[in-house]
Amino acid sequence: MDGSGDYQTVQEAIDAVPANNTEPVEIFIHNGVYKEVVKIPANKPFITLIGESAEKTILTYDNYAKKPKPEGGTYGTSGSASVYLYASDFVAKNLTMENSFDESLVEGGSQAVAVYTRGDRMSFHNVRFIGNQDTLYVNAGTQYFSQCYIEGDVDFIFGGGRAVFDDCDIISVDRGSTTNNGYITAASTNINEPYGYLFLNSRLKSEAADGTVYLGRPWHPGGDPSAIASVVFKNSELGAHIHEAGWTDMSGFSAKDARFYEYQNEGPGANSSRPQLTDEEAKMYTIENVLKGWNPKK
């Protein structure tokens, strides 16, 4: 950002990587605010983005679902992302990925994705994901998030991918409601996938009123009956903002029909009367199992 780098934008650096590369490529990003839509295509695997610092290296844009496109129509949810990550074996460290759209500017708000992922073996360490509704679109593939900070309000971790959130801070933005301040997850896991999202040793925090945020609800894209959400919160700390019921319905689909479970959570938002895994079942919910045999910690 200070002009000392090889490229002036993050996308220029990505564009310089040869297609179908077989060797790892590291792109170091100096502190600064990079307002651009970033895309890593599927034919550019093995890219690592390393920021100078998590708080001061910021990739940001402000598209949103209801925003009109120049050629007509609107961007839609999947078209609103600031960062698109299609390639496998991707790594991000020490940076912020943000959608800076101000939802108060549009009546009724709007979805505005910060990051869209669909590659396999994608790893994020000390990365901050900032947005409101639909912050992190885990669309497909396998992703591992460690020591990350994920912020939003409605369905802000969503999609059909398989993902582990390990030692992360999950922050629900206060919408100012006394009854409903949003939903953390909206998974759309296919019934043929045994695992969806696993939250391990993580912390759910918020300044929202007590009992006003749900752990999640089942998303059925287009009414797809095969999307049977799988979400587990295990050995995590749940703040007082978590609703007593934990889970809720969505678009006519019942939370009771989804695969929503908890195991040995603590904190004022924990409630053992909600669906819990048995000790035997909990043993199956490992990083390696969720990520199809891949363990990024090894």
Q: How many domains does the chain have?
A: 1
CA gap 209, 230 in Å, rounded: 27
> Shortest CA distance to 274 belongs to which of 262, 286, 264, 283?
262
pLDDT digits (tens, 9 = 90+) for 203-252: 999 999 999 999 999 999 999 999 999 999 999 999 999 999 999 999 99
Amino acid (1-letter code) at residue 270: A
For residue 275, is pLDDT > 80? yes
Per-residue model confidence as pLDDT tens digits over 216-227? 999 999 999 999
How far, in Å, CA of 25 to CA of 265, rounded?
Answer: 39
CA distance 160 to 223: 14
**Joined tokens for residue 113:** 């994705």
Residue 133: is its pLDDT beyond 90?
A: yes
- Is residue 3, in this structure, part of any structural domain at all? no
What's residue 109's pLDDT? 86
Distance CA 74, CA 20 (A): 32
φ/ψ (deg, to 5) at 260: -105, 120
Q: Is the pLDDT of residue 103 over 80?
A: yes
Percent of the chain scoring above 90 in pLDDT:
95
Residue 297 within a domain:
no
Residue 4 lies in a domain: no
Please check the confidence at residue 195 and state whether its pLDDT lies above 70.
yes
| pLDDT value at residue 270 | 98
255 has pLDDT over 80: yes
- For residue 298, being part of any structural domain is answered with no
**Where residue 115 sits, what CATH number does that domain have?**
2.160.20.10
pLDDT of 134-154, one tens digit each? 999 999 999 999 999 999 999
**Residue 2 pLDDT greater than 70, yes or no:** no
pLDDT (0 to 100) of residue 158: 98
Nearest in space to 155 (alpha carbons), one of 170, 143, 140, 165 = 170
169 catalytic? Reply is no
Residue 154, beta-bridge partner list: 183
Count other C-beta atoms under 10 Å from residue 16's C-beta. 11
Instruction: Identify whether the C-beta of residue 172 lies closer than 8 Å to the C-beta of residue 214.
Output: no
Q: How confident is the model at residue 8 (pLDDT cuts 50, 70, 90)?
A: very high
Q: What does the pLDDT read at residue 269?
A: 98
Residue 93: inside a domain: yes
Q: For residue 1, is pLDDT > 60?
A: no
Residue-level pLDDT at 3: 61
> Which residues form the domain of 257?
10-290
Report pLDDT digits (tens) over 50-89: 999 999 999 999 999 999 999 999 999 999 999 999 999 9
- In order, the DSSP letters of 19-30 are TT--S-EEEEE-
Q: How high is the pLDDT of residue 108?
A: 86
- Residues in CB range of 23: below 8 A, 6 or more apart: 46
Which entry of 120, 153, 155, 166 is annotated as an active-site residue? 155
pLDDT at res. 107: 87
